[in-house]
Chain A
Amino acid sequence: MSFLDVLYFIVPAAIFYAAPLILTAIGGVFSERSGVVNIGLEGLMVIGAFIGILFNLFFVDVFGATTPWVSLLAAMIIASLFSLLHAVASVTFRADQVVSGVAINLLAIALSLFLVKKIYGKGQTGFIEERFLRDDIPFLKDIPILGPMLFQNVYWTSVLAIGVAILAWVVLYYTPFGLRLRAVGEHPMAADTMGINVSRMRYIAVMISGGLAGIGGAIYSQSISLDFGHSTINGQGFMALAAMIFGKWHPLGAMGAALFFGFAQALSIVGSKLPYIEQVPSVFLLILPYVLTILALAGFIGKANAPKANGVPYIKGNR
C-alpha cells in the first residue's frame, strides 16, 4: 500500500468518525461561551442517538430514503428540549453546573434504556433499514489527489458538520447575537448593564448545544452503530467535550480538534489493515485517542483560557 493509498483510506475514515464529534463540540462551544459548563453533552448525544434510531424505526415507511434526515430533525428537537433541564438547573436554580451535567448524563442513559426496554422488551433496538449513505460531491470530486481523498465517497453528514462549524464561527464572531452570547460568558454583569438578558441568552445557548449534540448523536447512531443500546454512545460526548477545550472554545478550533480525534479513532479501528500499524498491539491503538488528548492538553495548548464566567451562576446585584 503506497502512502497515498493509506491517505485515501484513513482521511475519509477520520472525517467520518469526526462528524458527530464536531457537531457536539460546537454545541459545547455555544453553551460554555455563554458561561454554562456542559458536561451533559454525553447525555444529550445519548438522547439524540436514541431518538434518531427510534424515529427511524417508526417512520421508515413514511419517509423512505429521507428518514435519516428527518430523524436528525426529531433528535435535534427532543435533545434541545431535554437540555432545558440543564438550563433550568444551572441558570434558574443556580446548581453546580458540573453536577447538573452529571445528572443529565445519568438520566439520559437511564431514561432511554428504560424506554427501549418498555418498547422492545429487550436492552437493544433492532437495526435500522435506512441509514446515511456515502456519495460523491459533484465537481469537487474531480480535483486530482484532493478529490478522491476528501470529496469522493463522503457522507453528506460530514459536509453538514463542517458547514455548521463555519456557520457557528460566523454567528459567534460576526453577529450581534454572537457578541452578546460571548459577553454573557465573559462578564455577565457588564452585559446585564448593557441591557442584555443574561438568563435568556444562557437558556438559548444551552438549547443550541442540546440541539447540536442531539444531531451529533443521531448521526453517530444512524451511520456508525445503526442500532441503540447501552454502549452506543460510550464516551463520544466526553471526547467532544475534550475537543471543545482542546480547540480553546473556538468553533474552528473545536472542529480541528474533533477531526484530530476522529483520526485517532479511525486509526484504532482501521489500523489493523494498515502496514506497520498492524503490528502495534491493539490496546495501544485503543487508548491512543485518550492518551493523545492528555498529552495535547498538557503539552501543546498551554494554559486553557476558558470564558471568564464559565460555570458561575449569575445572580443579579452580586458583585
Chain B
Amino acid sequence: MSNRLVNILVPLISVILGLIVGAVVMLISGYDPVKGYMALWSGIFGDAYTMGETIRQITPYILAGLAVAFAFRTGLFNIGVEGQLIVGWFAAAYVGITFDELPKYIHLPLALIAAAAAGALWGFIPGLLKARFKVHEVIVTIMMNYVALHTSNALIKAVSDGGDNTGAIHPTASLRSEFFQNMTEFSRLHYGIFIALAMVLVMWLILEKTTRGFELKAVGLNQHASEYAGMNVNKNIILAMSISGAFAGLGGAMEALGTFEYASVKGGFTGIGFDGIAVALLGANTPLGVIFGATLFGSLKYGALNMPNAAGIPTEIVSIVIAIIIFFVASGYVIRLFIERLSKKKGAK
C-alpha cells in the first residue's frame, strides 16, 4: 500500500475509533449513542443557521491549527497558541474600539495587523528564549498563556474603566457580513473564513515556495545538518515562533472582529488554542490537512452544543471523542502496523 494512502488512512481510522469509543462511553453511562450522534449531526447540519455557525466556529480553528502546524514544521511545539490568540483578540478589539472615523479599508486591516503583531510578539519571546538560552519552548509557552490571560483581563478592565467588557468595536473594523447573515438565518458567520483560507495559502507558499520556508523545514528535520549547511538555526527558530504566533493572533482577531465584536474578561482559557494542537496533528501539520482537521473538530465542537438539549448528553462527550482521536493519531505506529499486516495478508492470497 502506498505511503500516501496510509498517511490518509491513519487519521481516518483514528476518527472512526474515536467515535466508537465515544459511543461506548455513552452506552456505559446510560445514554443512547444513536440519539446522541443524531443530535450531534443536526447540531452541525440541522439548518442554514447551524451550518453558518459551524463554519464560524471552524474559522479560528483553522488559524489555531496553522499556528501549531507551522511551529511543528520547524521542530517546535507551540502550546502557547492559546495565549497568542488571547492577546490577538484583545489587540484587535482595542484597535476596533479606539480609532474613530477611519475608512473600513484602513481600520479593518489595521485591526488585523495589530492582532497578528500581538500574537507574533507573544511567540517571539519563547522563540528568543529558546534560541538564546536554550529554554524549552513548551514550558515558556505554557507560562506565557497565563501571562496573556491575566494581562489581557487587566487591560480590558483598564480600557473599560473597571468593567469586564471592552464594548462593541466600530462597524468599520467589523468582519460581519450582511450577505452571510441573510443567507444563514442571521448566524454570526463572517468574512473571517476567507482570511483563514488565505492564511492556509500563505503557509503553503512560505513553506513550499520560498528559500526561507525551505530553511525552516530543514531546521525542523535536522538542526545540526542545517547548521552545518550554513543556515542560522537560531534566527529560524525565532522566525518560526513569530509567524506561528501571528497566525494565532489572527485567530483571536476572528473572535474580536467577527464572532463577538468585543473582548471580555475571561475566567479561563478559550480552549481554541489547545484544540489547535489536535487540528494540526490530525492534519499531519500540512496546510491542507489543517483545513480538514479544523473542519472536523470545529464541527464536532459546535454540534456538541446541541447534545444536552436534544439528547440530554453533556457536551463533554465530544471532548472525550476528540481526546481519543488525538490519542490514536499519536499512536499512529500501531495503526500503521495493523494496516501493513492487513495488506500483506491480502497480498498473500
Chain A residues in contact with chain B, CB under 8 A? 39, 85, 89, 93-96, 98-100, 102-107, 109-111, 113-115, 117-118, 230-231, 234-235, 238, 241-242, 245, 281-283, 286-287, 290-291, 293-294, 297-299, 303-304
Check if A85 sits within 8 Å of B327, measured CB to CB.
yes
Check if B316 sits within 8 Å of A102, measured CB to CB.
no
Check if B138 sits within 8 Å of A99, measured CB to CB.
no
Check if B142 sits within 8 Å of A242, measured CB to CB.
yes
Residues of B within 8 A of A99 (CB): 277, 281, 326, 329-330
What are 25 A-B contacts defined by CB distance under 8 Å? A85-B327, A89-B331, A93-B331, A95-B327, A95-B330, A95-B331, A96-B330, A99-B277, A102-B274, A106-B326, A107-B320, A109-B319, A110-B322, A111-B316, A113-B314, A118-B314, A231-B268, A238-B143, A242-B142, A283-B151, A286-B150, A291-B147, A294-B140, A297-B139, A297-B140
Check if B268 sits within 8 Å of A230, measured CB to CB.
yes
Check if B139 sits within 8 Å of A114, measured CB to CB.
no
CA distance A125 to B270 in the complex (A): 22
Closest B residue to A93 by beta carbon equals B331
Query: What 5 A-B pairs come out closest when comparing CB atoms?
Result: A110-B319, A283-B154, A107-B323, A93-B331, A106-B323
Chain B residues in contact with chain A, CB under 8 A? 25, 29-30, 77, 79, 129, 132-136, 138-140, 142-144, 146-147, 150-151, 153-154, 267-268, 274, 277-278, 281, 314, 316-317, 319-320, 322-324, 326-327, 329-334
Residues of A within 8 A of B154 (CB): 281-283
Q: Please name 20 further chain A to chain B contacts, defined as beta carbons within 8 Å, in addition to the given A104-B323, A287-B151, A297-B139, sorted by A numbering.
A: A89-B331, A93-B330, A93-B334, A95-B331, A95-B332, A98-B138, A102-B79, A102-B274, A103-B323, A106-B322, A110-B319, A235-B146, A241-B142, A287-B146, A291-B143, A293-B143, A298-B129, A298-B132, A298-B133, A299-B133
Check if B324 sits within 8 Å of A107, measured CB to CB.
yes
CB distance from A220 to the nearest CB of B (A): 16
Closest B residue to A285 by beta carbon equals B150
* Inter-chain CB contacts under 8 Å: number: 127
User: A110-B319, A230-B268 in contact; A290/B146 too (CB < 8 A)?
Assistant: yes
CB distance from A154 to the nearest CB of B (A): 28
CA distance A85 to B146 in the complex (A): 28
CA distance A293 to B330 in the complex (A): 29
Check if A287 sits within 8 Å of B150, measured CB to CB.
yes
Residues of B within 8 A of A107 (CB): 320, 323-324, 327
CB distance from B143 to the nearest CB of A (A): 4
CA distance A298 to B332 in the complex (A): 35
CA distance A283 to B129 in the complex (A): 23
Residues of B within 8 A of A100 (CB): 327, 330-331
Check if A283 sits within 8 Å of B153, measured CB to CB.
yes
CB distance from A44 to the nearest CB of B (A): 14
Closest A residue to B329 by beta carbon equals A99
CB distance from B137 to the nearest CB of A (A): 11
Residues of A within 8 A of B322 (CB): 106, 110
Contact of B326 among A103, A113, A290 (CB under 8 A): A103
Residues of A within 8 A of B329 (CB): 99
Check if A283 sits within 8 Å of B150, measured CB to CB.
yes
Contact of A287 among B147, B267, B323, B331 (CB under 8 A): B147
CA distance A151 to B304 in the complex (A): 50
Contact of B314 among A85, A96, A114, A298 (CB under 8 A): A114
Check if A94 sits within 8 Å of B323, measured CB to CB.
no
Residues of A within 8 A of B147 (CB): 287, 290-291
Residues of A within 8 A of B268 (CB): 230-231, 234
Residues of B within 8 A of A113 (CB): 314, 316
Closest B residue to A301 by beta carbon equals B135
Contact of A245 among B134, B136, B274, B334 (CB under 8 A): B136
Residues of A within 8 A of B330 (CB): 89, 93, 95-96, 99-100, 103
